[in-house]
């Protein structure tokens, strides 16, 4: 295969097709708001768990023209977003055939954009012989979707707040999956695509929510508390800051004009169930993203009880389970 011009990204000699998998990640200290929308730089730092089980697998190959398929169907909207992202980092790239599959609901608040952009970045960088290190891959993926930067790393991951100096993002692993073996129980309460995407919702809240500035100002305290809890493997401390960060993020949205609410009745019912379970002594807390699914973070010994309880909640259509997993990886040909 040939390159399209002398300065264009070069196709790797040994890779006609490259396949990469990335797992979604779930933030315990949330990212909400952008310091720069043009560069997609988060306004705040965040801390997340990379999951196993749930996955996006993406295959890329050079082709006669750009084509993007998601979950077995041509997807023009997602394709446009993906190719605009690729043009930014690989100007002059060859046309690409991209086939991506999620083994979980897409764009429903289950972080499919995080795993999607992480897998795409790793696959395309490998195909085009980019040879970027993980940090740089995280920078790239993060400009496609802020949370995607975190899916390049496994276990417990921290994304630093942007620095004044360059505004670049920095991501690092705080603990290997095996060092702090938490489990996730995800109560799916609707698999419908969310009515308003996170970028649009972030823009709206920054413009109209009176709580947005306070959210940004307070974030470093939450990040520090969560990092300390992870270092000490202190589940109770982590649970407290996790729920606090989640509720504050959704409070910013409730303060939007007009108000914005991603939850449904089953989401709220699950919150109450988690509270009852924790009061009875179980190691469990909840978090919720830009969608109506509730993610229960559990100590391993308590995850079965949590799953049994959430399965019985009215309006819960499915319960997914995950442990902590690895960062984005390549398939060997």
Residues that bind ligand PMV (CB under 6 A): 27, 30-31, 46, 113-114, 145-147, 198-199, 289-290
d(CA 178, CA 188): 26
Task: Write down the least CB distance from residue 291 to ligand PMV, Å.
Answer: 8
CA 177 to chain centre: 16
Closer residue to ligand PMV in complex, CB, 5/221: 221
Which two structure tokens, joined as six digits, stand for 230? 């992870």
Q: How far apart are CA 110 and CA 49, in angstroms?
A: 13
Q: Is 147 helix (H, G, I), strand (E, B) or coil?
A: helix
Using CB atoms within 10 Å of the CB of residue 83, give its burial: 0 to 12 exposed, 13 to 18 middle, 19+ buried. middle
Instruction: Compare residues 18 and 169 and give the one whose CB is closer to ligand PMV.
Output: 169
The smaller minimum CB distance to ligand PMV, of residues 26 and 127, is found at 26
Q: Name the minimum Å distance from CB 149 to ligand PMV.
A: 9
Distance CA 27, CA 245 (A): 9
For ligand PMV, the closer of residues 126 and 287 by Cβ is 287
DSSP conformation letters of 197-266: -HHHHHHHHHHH-TTHHHHHHHHHHHHHHHHHHHHTT-HHHHHHHHHHHHHHHHHHHHTSSS------HH
The nearest distance, CB 42 to ligand PMV, in angstroms, is 8
Toward ligand PMV, which CB reaches closer, 127 or 169? 169
Nearest approach in angstroms of CB 10 to ligand PMV is: 30
Between 21 and 151, CB nearer to ligand PMV: 151
Is residue 141 a contact partner of residue 148, using CB atoms and an 8 Å limit? Answer: yes
Is the Cβ of residue 44 or residue 306 nearer to ligand PMV in the bound state?
A: 44
**Minimal distance in Å, beta carbon 148 to ligand PMV?**
6
* Of residues 9 and 24, the one with the C-beta less far from ligand PMV: 24
CB of 59 to ligand PMV, least distance (A): 23
Listing DSSP states for 291-326 in one string gives SS-EEEEE-GGGHHHHHHHHHTSTT--EEEEEEB-P
DSSP string, 247-285: HHHHHHHHTSSS------HHHHHHHHHHHHHHHTT--EE
Residue 145 beta carbon to ligand PMV: minimum distance, rounded to whole angstroms: 4
- CB of 109 vs ligand PMV, minimal distance in Å: 7
> Which C-beta is closer to ligand PMV: that of 46 or that of 173?
46
Helix axes 112-127, 134-144, angle to 10 degrees: 130
Residue 58 beta carbon to ligand PMV: minimum distance, rounded to whole angstroms: 17
Q: % helix / strand / coil in the chain, to the nearest 5?
A: 40, 25, 40
Tell me if 15 sits within 8 A of 119, measured CB to CB.
no
Which tokens in the block code for residue 16? 């006609």
């Amino acid at each position: 295969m040939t390159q399209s011009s002398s300065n264009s990204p070069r196709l790797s000699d040994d890779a006609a097709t490259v396949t990469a998998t990335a797992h979604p990640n779930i933030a315990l200290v949330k990212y909400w708001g952008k310091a720069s929308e043009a560069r997609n730089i988060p306004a705040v730092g965040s801390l997340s768990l990379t999951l196993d089980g749930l996955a996006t697998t993406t295959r890329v190959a050079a082709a006669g023209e750009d084509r993007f398929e998601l979950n077995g169907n041509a997807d023009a909207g997602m394709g446009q977003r993906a190719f605009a992202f690729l043009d930014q980092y690989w100007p002059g790239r060859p046309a690409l055939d991209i086939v991506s599959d999620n083994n979980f609901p897409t764009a429903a608040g289950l972080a499919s954009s995080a795993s999607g952009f992480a897998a795409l970045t790793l696959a395309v960088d490998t195909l085009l012989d980019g040879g970027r290190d993980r940090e740089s891959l995280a920078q790239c993926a993060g400009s496609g979707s802020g949370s995607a930067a975190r899916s390049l790393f496994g276990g417990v991951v921290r994304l630093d707040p942007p620095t004044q100096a360059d505004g670049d993002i920095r991501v690092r692993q705080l603990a290997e999956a095996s060092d702090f073996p938490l489990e996730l129980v995800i109560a799916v309460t609707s698999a419908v695509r969310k009515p308003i995407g996170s970028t649009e919702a972030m823009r709206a809240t920054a413009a109209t929510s009176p709580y947005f500035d306070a959210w940004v100002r307070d974030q470093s305290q939450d990040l520090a508390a969560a990092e300390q809890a992870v270092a000490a493997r202190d589940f109770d401390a982590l649970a407290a800051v996790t729920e606090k960060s989640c509720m504050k993020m959704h409070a910013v949205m409730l303060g939007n004009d007009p108000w914005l609410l991603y939850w449904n009745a089953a989401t709220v019912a699950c919150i109450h169930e988690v509270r009852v379970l924790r009061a009875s002594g179980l190691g469990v807390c909840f978090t919720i993203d830009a969608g109506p699914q509730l993610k229960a973070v559990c100590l391993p010994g308590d995850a079965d009880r949590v799953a049994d309880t959430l399965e019985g909640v009215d309006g819960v259509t499915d319960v997914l389970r995950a442990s902590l997993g690895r960062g984005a990886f390549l398939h060997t040909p």
